[in-house]
Amino acid sequence: MKKVSFIIVNYNTRDLLEKCVANLLDGYKPSEIIVVDNASNDGSADNIKERFEKKIKLIRTENNGITAGYNLGIKKATGDYYIFLGTDAFPTKEAIEKVVNFMEDEKNKNVGIATPKIVLRDGSLDMDAHRGLSTPWSSLTHFAKLDKLFPKSKLFARYFLTYKDFSMPHEIDVCISHLMCIRKETMDKLKKWDEDFWVFGEDLDICYRAQQLGYKIMYLSNIEVLHYKGAGVGRKETKDLVNASRISKESKRRLTLATTRAMKLFYKKHQEKKYPWVLNQIVYLGIFLMGKLRLFSRGMKV
């Protein structure tokens, strides 16, 4: 069996992290678990060391963002596959075996990144794990809700690719790093995660770069993994979880601002040169206004 390196970046999710690691220890073998703690102040690192010191590799570091944490994890990884995992994701042994078996199939050798069907606690799909490439058009149709009006339209539903056949594994453009399986050889060619994406947008960037290298991104709809979405950033849908209550208002504000910062960063890096100056200014204005709207809608200082 191929070895898997689970790489987890943690910041102030002590209870979730403990549950996440415990779940992995009962799961897929052979594997290694690498936990990068980004200077948590909730005792995460000490707790995980006390509970699992001989079973994991723990890296303590400053909080330089999720991508810097991933890059530190890669340096310690010895697996044939890297699985980047959120502390709020809980894959079963069978799910990991199926993902690895898929990647090992000779006919899938051009697949660089794979992700399972990620399911939320209420049983619905996490559509952020099943996305198309962000372009001015796909973003416009999404935020104008045209994709909800025409979910089977290839013209209007490119943001979440809802016109795809979910009964079968299929190619997508973007998955999230809450359970992202990358071949070591693919990661070697990508070299590292872009640390300009401090949080959010990092998965969009790395999937795009993998596609530019000729790799496919596959959504394995026959494999399910549970995701406590939002627990790591204190969203209201996870307020019943201990960790969510520990996220300060100021941290939530910074995270809200980071969502639109990531949009601007990705567009400037990968899209700006493809479009005329006027359209670019409209896009940047739209991103700016969206940032203000998100702060206002969440009761935060604009």
Q: Report the 3 state secondary structure along the chain.
A: CCCEEEEEEECCCHHHHHHHHHHHHCCCCCEEEEEEEECCCCCHHHHHHHHHCCCCEEEEECCCCHHHHHHHHHHHCCCCEEEEECCCEECCHHHHHHHHHHHHCHHHCCEEEEEEEEEECCCCECHHHCECCCCHHHHHHHHCCHHHHCCCCCCCCCCCCCCCCCCCCEEECECCCCEEEEEHHHHHHHCCCCCCCCCCCHHHHHHHHHHHCCCEEEEEEEEEEEECCCHHHCCHHHCCCCHHHHCCHHHHHHHHHHHHHHHHHHHHHHHHHHCCHHHHHHHHHHHHHHHHHHHHHCCCCC
pLDDT at 285 over 60: yes
Residue 253: predicted pLDDT: 85
Report pLDDT digits (tens) over 59-106: 999 999 999 999 999 999 999 999 999 999 999 999 999 999 999 999
Residue 238: predicted pLDDT: 54
Report pLDDT digits (tens) over 135-147: 999 999 999 999 9
What percentage of residues in the chain have a pLDDT greater than 70?
A: 94
Residue 245: predicted pLDDT: 47
- Banded pLDDT at 1 (limits 50, 70, 90): confident
